[in-house]
A and B are shown apart, each in its own frame.
Chain A
Amino acid sequence: MNTQDTGTLPRKALLGSGALRAFIGGRWVIAFLLLETAYFCFRTEGFANLNSAQILLFYGVQVFLLAVAELFVIVTGGIDLSVGYVLGFASIVSIKLIVFLGNAGLPAPLALLLGGAITLVIGLVPGLINGWLVAYLGVPPFIATFSMLGVCHGVSELLINGIYAMGLPQLAADIGNGHFFYLAPGGIVSFFTRPEVERGVQVLEVIPIIVVVTAIVVGVFAFVLRRSRFGRHIYAIGGNSDAAVRAGIPVKRRLLGVYALSSFLASLAGVVYAFMYVSGKADAGASILLDAIAAVMIGGASMFGGTGTVGRTMVGALIIAVLELGLRMSGTPTFNKYILVGAILIFAVVMERYMPESRK
């Protein structure tokens, strides 16, 4: 590591002008992702193909969504520890609702749609409470959202009594694991449904539906953060909350909105989880929290707020996703993943300190 020197002079001599450092600071994350991907492509058999890419994106959707949620909160200078358990909570609530609606006689598509939609509305509640505690009562985000983590955990367990939430209609699994089109030998192309083929015949599945849904959602929120007044305001809040207040920005309302948005995205991730795995459990997202926060930090955001973009957060999330799949496919136990993510996380923050980008 070339960051050993904290004095300004030797570092300058080592790395040339500030512009060079800013150049590296802005780009090493992408370079890292490319190198990492290239490494696994050469080292790991079967990694360099379309299917791996799809698998990587497919199993990454929860991390992508939670990372975006976390990014919004981190840009304001806060943190949301509850997203993982909000995800679990939403996975359970959606299944309970859909099963209930199905039993009430609704056809499966309608039950899925309605159940999912109601879950997303309910999913706003934890975030609104978080936001209220943080913005209006002045509770530190760490405490407020950890409390919410506990509450979501408790309520989830009460809902399912210690077992999994289950009983979704087959349609849910079809959507959750569905692809846009399927190619079977002999030039058969089938949209949305898997073609009937003999056992053992390979069907090429192309573009998982939920990956597309996730990409759209991520795109929308990237737009919100970058181009909307709401986004500009939350950068301002993270940059200088006093200045934001004095500039007439409704800081408390914006914070309420940010935590609600975070919780909404976590709920969406939970509904997607339910469709993917056709089950729901309280700790479905417990282990993703580290990945989500790490993705944001690796993407160059600051813990103190004011910086970070959706694009770079996604690069951070991809670094983790490639690592996970790469290690798994090369037969290395995934334990190594935790070590590497931890190390990359610290490395990224050190890089951000010594090679800050000049622009946000």
Chain B
Amino acid sequence: MSDDSGGFLATGLGRSLANNWAAFFLLLMLVVFSMTGQNFLSIVNFQNVVHLQTVPLLLAAAETFVIISGGIDLSIGFVMGLVSVSAARLMQAFLASGLPVGWVIVLASGIVLVGSLIPGLINGIIITRFKVPPFIATMGMWGIANGLALKLCQGFPVAGLPDALPEMGNGYFLYALPGQFMSLFGKPSWFPDARVRELWRLIPFSLPFILAILAVLAFALKRKRFGRHTYAIGGSMDAAVRSGIDVDRHVIKIYTLSSFLAGIAGVFNIFQTGIGNYTTFSAMYELFAVAAVIIGGASLSGGKGRVWSSAVGVLVLAFLENGLAISGVQPFYRYIAVGVLLVIAVVIDKLFPNLR
């Protein structure tokens, strides 16, 4: 009964347009904003946008796996905050104990990254063993992680961390003043801080970092058994069980991965801001991550989605905000635009169910 009705959709262009509408929309947006916003089309702006999206990209990647498996993880935003705050507290403690700065950073980051497996592990166990719906299990974890983070930081961002953190987190591979000098990994020390804006700063450290993580995840999802099983579970839980996949184990792994990626985001957050930040209610990281994944073409009923498409979803949301701001539109329109885009994404998904 599900014959393709032919026509435009049958043509190669039509298919790829409907299949990758988010990417086309992104391109269209870039073109439009290049015309409406003065400094929109510039390497500096694009670099900034991508750099600032490192955290959302990580969270969207986490949510991609969970959503493909047919679940949802509402806890990642607050797990990120908890990890960020814990790392900051640990660093403070290590610094006080006289550990060298390098060790402080490495040790604290390492410990919290291992610790970040725990919320996901608990989520996974609650979901598989006690058959609690993912929405509720991770919502519970949302509350718990939020409470713990606030408890650790007493409601204030944790400051007093090494200066090396933001220097590394916001550093670039290449610094240059055209026609005068060029240096790698840092600006020459003789160059005054006040004039740093005159420099060309190219390729933020965060770029290869996030690209590498996304590449590994995309590879795991597309080419490894782990990814194949993830799709299988989201496509048909029954079929997955019957074909001998240890579904419970795999689901636990997926939520643990999700929480671990939120952990990486939390550590990166410290590197980016130089302080330990708890997550506020209005940030809604997890919901925007879900939005990006859906705009990227995944379906909340599972079985569909790709890491790179989710990344495109993140960039669509990011450039929307950035482009509107640069074009002088009130930033509040962004929230409205996100809502409209999401609905479009789902309606497209409904209209062309045979895609991908």
Q: Are A286 and B137 in contact (CB under 8 A)?
A: no
Contact of B133 among A147, A150, A158, A303 (CB under 8 A): A303
Contact with B along A133-152 (1 / 0, CB 8 A): 10001111011101111110
A147-B343 contact in complex given A154-B336, A158-B332, C-beta closer than 8 Å: yes
In the assembled complex, which residues on chain B have CB atoms less than 8 Å from the CB atom of A286?
Answer: 281-282
Instruction: Kindly count the residue-residue contacts between A and B in the assembled complex, taking CB atoms under 8 Å apart.
Output: 140
**Which B residues, 299 to 356, have Cβ-Cβ distances below 8 Å to chain A?**
300-301, 330, 332-340, 342-343, 345-347, 350
Listed residue (B140, B282, B291, B338) with the most chain A CB atoms within 10 angstroms of its CB: B140
A342 contacts B142, C-beta separation under 8 Å: yes
Is the Cβ of B144 less than 8 Å from the Cβ of A287?
no
Given contacts A154-B333, A286-B281, contact A345 B139 (CB under 8 A): yes
* B142 contacts across to A, CB distance below 8 A: 290, 342
* A342 in contact with B140 (CB, 8 Å): yes
Beyond A283-B281, A290-B139, whether A338 also contacts B144 by CB under 8 A is yes
B143–A338 CB distance below 8 A: yes
Closest to B350 in A: A138
Q: Which residues of B are found within 8 Å of A343, using beta-carbon distances?
A: 140, 143-144
Which residues of the partner chain B approach A137 to less than 8 Å between Cβ atoms? Answer: 343, 346-347, 350
- Other-chain contact of B291, A144, A146, A153, A155 (Cβ < 8 Å): A146
Q: Tell me, yes or no, whether B136 is within 8 Å of chain A by CB.
A: yes
* A328-360 contacts to B (CB < 8 Å): 333, 335-343, 345-346, 349-350, 353
Chain A CB within 10 Å, residue with most, of B144, B287, B333, B347? B144
Please state if A147 and B290 are interface contacts (CB–CB under 8 Å).
Answer: no
Asked if B143 and A341 make an inter-chain contact with CB atoms under 8 angstroms apart, the answer reads yes
The reply to whether B347 and A297 contact each other, CB–CB distance below 8 Å, is no
Would you call A140 and B346 a contact (CB within 8 A)?
A: yes
Bound CA span A241–B333, Å: 36
Q: Are B332 and A157 in contact (CB under 8 A)?
A: yes
- Judge whether B336 and A150 touch: CB under 8 Å: yes
B151/A143 in contact, CB under 8 A: no
Task: Give the complex CA separation of A345 and B136 in angstroms.
Answer: 7
List chain A residues, Cβ under 8 A from B136. Answer: 297, 303, 345-346, 349
A81, A293, A294, A341: residue with the most chain B Cβ atoms closer than 10 Å: A341
- SS of B interface (majority): helix
Collect the chain A residues with CB atoms within 8 Å of residue B148's CB.
335, 339
0/1 per residue, B40-84, Cβ < 8 Å to A? 000000000000000000000000000000001000000000000
Q: A283 vs B342: C-alpha distance in the bound complex, in angstroms?
A: 21
Asked if A287 contacts B281 (CB within 8 A), the reply is yes
Residue of B nearest to A133 (CB): B343
**When the two chains form their complex, are residues B143 and A151 in contact, meaning their CB atoms are under 8 A apart?**
no
Given A146-B291, A150-B335, A342 and B282 touching (CB < 8 A)? no
Query: Of A154, A340, A346, which one neighbours B126 at CB under 8 angstroms?
Result: A346
Return chain B residues, CB-CB under 8 Å to A303: 133, 135-136
Alpha-carbon distance between A81 and B150 when the two chains are bound, in angstroms: 23
Q: B139 near A342 (CB under 8 angstroms)? A: yes
Contact, CB under 8 Å: B147 / A339: yes
Contact B155 A146 (CB under 8 A): no
Per-residue 0/1 for A283-323: is the Cβ within 8 Å of any B Cβ (1 yes, 0 no)? 10011001001100100000110000000000000000000
Q: Are A283 and B343 in contact (CB under 8 A)?
A: no
Q: Which of B129, B135, B150 contacts A333 (CB 8 A)?
A: B150
- A349 with B154, Cβ < 8 A, contacts A140-B300, A147-B340, A293-B139 known: no
B131 adjacent to chain A (CB < 8 Å): yes
The 5 A-B pairs of least Cβ separation, nearest first, read A342-B143, A339-B147, A338-B147, A147-B339, A154-B335
29 A-B pairs, CB-CB below 8 angstroms? A137-B343, A139-B350, A147-B339, A149-B287, A149-B339, A150-B336, A151-B336, A151-B340, A153-B332, A153-B335, A154-B334, A155-B336, A283-B282, A290-B139, A293-B139, A303-B133, A304-B133, A333-B155, A337-B147, A339-B143, A341-B143, A342-B143, A342-B146, A345-B136, A346-B132, A346-B136, A350-B132, A353-B130, A353-B132
